[in-house]
Chain A
Amino acid sequence: EAAVTQSPRNKVTVTGGNVTLSCRQTNSHNYMYWYRQDTGHGLRLIHYSYGAGNLQIGDVPDGYKATRTTQEDFFLLLELASPSQTSLYFCASSEDGDTQYFGPGTRLLVL
């Protein structure tokens, strides 16, 4: 089964803080995704990528940047964190855009 890891697993920051969430997949999948999960909203797509250097905007991109530095690594950046970004963040990867494999998630609390 595909392996997707995320770090950190938990993060606390203050309003206006700078946060980077990391995701690595070791299966050379082409596609990688960042989602946030909130009660009452389900999972919502923030950004995604087709490959190294590629970046696509998802459904809820405001306040987030992302970078795909290699085939394996996909980062989500919050440069001025706000309390509304308190959430559970999942990274996922997919070989062809079909089945997505999710990482364990990162819990972010913005005070």
Chain B
Amino acid sequence: GDSVTQTEGLVTLTKGLPVMLNCTYQTTYSPFLFWYVQHLNEAPKLLLKSSTDNKRTEHQGFYATLHKSSSSFHLQKSSVQLSDSALYFCALSGNNYAQGLTFGLGTRVSVFP
């Protein structure tokens, strides 16, 4: 079946530094990848999505590029803010996106002053 791997459970960094969160996936179908962000005691919200190979997608200062050759969809930001502290999920829709998403375990980002 489909699977998503996020290698970092926790990332701690100082405000203003860059960040990259890793996401790799496995599916036998044409993938549609998503990044969701969940702030403390809130619902997950869509941050980015892509199904186009080698095209960078951006939103709110975050960006990611789907690379089908390496099955990756890493999330990056050039300068993190305190408000970026949150839980970030990578998610995959493989076979049929209407059948729900397969989520990674999530990466918690903590940004310090």
Binding site for B on A (CB under 8 A): 4, 31, 33, 35, 40-45, 48, 50, 56, 58-59, 90, 94, 96-105
Binding site for A on B (CB under 8 A): 32, 34, 42-46, 49, 89, 91, 93, 96-106
The secondary structure that dominates the B interface is mixed
Task: State in angstroms the CA–CA spacing of A42 and B92 once bound together.
Answer: 13
Residue pair A90, B89 in contact (C-beta under 8 Å):
no
**CB-CB < 8 A to B46: which residues of A?**
99-101
CB closest chain-B residue, reference A58: B100
Task: State in angstroms the CA–CA spacing of A28 and B105 once bound together.
Answer: 30
Task: State in angstroms the CA–CA spacing of A33 and B97 once bound together.
Answer: 12
Residue pair B89, A97 in contact (C-beta under 8 Å):
no
Given contacts A44-B103, A94-B98, A101-B46, 8 further A-B contacts (CB under 8 A): A35-B100, A42-B89, A42-B104, A45-B100, A48-B99, A56-B99, A90-B43, A97-B97
CB closest chain-B residue, reference A96: B98
Task: State in angstroms the CA–CA spacing of A99 and B101 once bound together.
Answer: 10
**CB-CB < 8 A to A45: which residues of B?**
100-102
